[in-house]
Amino acid sequence: MKTRLLSSACAAFLLAGLAACGGNDESPPLVTVDALGASTMNMAALGNTMATYPLASLSVAEAASLAFMREEEQLAHDVYAASARLWSLPVFVNITASEATHSAAIKVLLDRYQQPDPLAGLPNGTFKTPAFQALYTSFVATSQISLIEALKVGVEIEELDIRDITAQKATIDNADILLVYEHLLSASRSHLRAFLKVLAQQGGTYVPKYISQTEFNEIVNPQ
């Protein structure tokens, strides 16, 4: 339960920020990116920014989207945490920590809109939705084969996130949710580049599965 408790602590930190006033010119950035490409949300800064948005009504599609993204962001965290225990590379540790803030940000949106958390009461590596449970089991099993395979899984998860967040955005009208989703999408692109760089250093290659080769190339080599 340690990691889920971490996410809850991050969520509580951000939730406290929702009561604060809007940011100013000296406010810290919403997202920080380390030298490896791990993209971490600044929970207090995000909370202050979200506080400037009105609480709009939540559609059925938006409620379903938040539940979906809560599990998908936690999926990335839990798989990378498993890889970090197997392979002593900073990229796994750093991006695991980043994903904790991503999952926590979705948890704050669930709380903000008084929606149930699909992960409530579940230990690490377990999910309410069978499809996410199957993905977790498959990704962890593949990551155990070799370091190369674990890095490929990292790229694959981020590619999957990019496809899914893009699709989920089309169902969203509420500006505060779109704000978080935009940052999650940017973070997934950064993480994809980070995993792919280390994969190449280890002599591995990757062919995209969920997005086009053109889109993949544009992410890997941004203009």
211 CB-near residues (< 8 Å, 6+ apart): 159, 162, 163
pLDDT for residue 5 is more than 90: no
What CATH number did the domain enclosing 138 receive?
A: 1.20.1260.10
Residue 36 lies in a domain: no
How distant, in Å, are the alpha carbons of 192, 207, 213, 214, 222 from that of 217? 11, 11, 6, 5, 8
CA separation for the pair 95, 103 (Å, rounded): 12
- State the pLDDT at residue 44: 86
Residue 166 lies in a domain: yes
Higher local confidence (pLDDT), 87 or 6 = 87
Residue 73 lies in a domain: yes
Residue 32 lies in a domain: no
Residue 135 lies in a domain: yes
pLDDT for residue 211 is more than 90: yes
pLDDT for residue 150 is more than 60: yes
For the residues 163-185, what does the mean pLDDT come to? 95
The pLDDT tens digits of the residues spanning 20-44 come to 333 344 567 888 888 888 888 888 8
Using pLDDT thresholds of 50, 70 and 90, give the confidence band for residue 52: confident
- Structural domain including 193 reads 2-26+41-220
CA separation for the pair 101, 73 (Å, rounded): 9
Using pLDDT thresholds of 50, 70 and 90, give the confidence band for residue 79: very high
- State the pLDDT at residue 24: 44
CA separation for the pair 188, 191 (Å, rounded): 5
Q: Which of these, 6, 13, 9, lies nearest to 47 by C-alpha position? A: 13
The enclosing H or E element of 33 equals strand 31-33
Q: What are the φ/ψ torsions at residue 33 (nearest 5 degrees)? A: -125, 125
Residue 34 lies in a domain: no
Q: What is the mean pLDDT of the chain?
A: 88
For the residues 109-132, what does the mean pLDDT come to? 96
- State the pLDDT at residue 29: 84
User: How many domains are there within the chain?
Assistant: 1
- State the pLDDT at residue 26: 59
Residue 112 lies in a domain: yes
Residue 76 lies in a domain: yes
Using pLDDT thresholds of 50, 70 and 90, give the confidence band for residue 16: very low
For the residues 164-180, what does the mean pLDDT come to? 95
Amino acid at 93: V
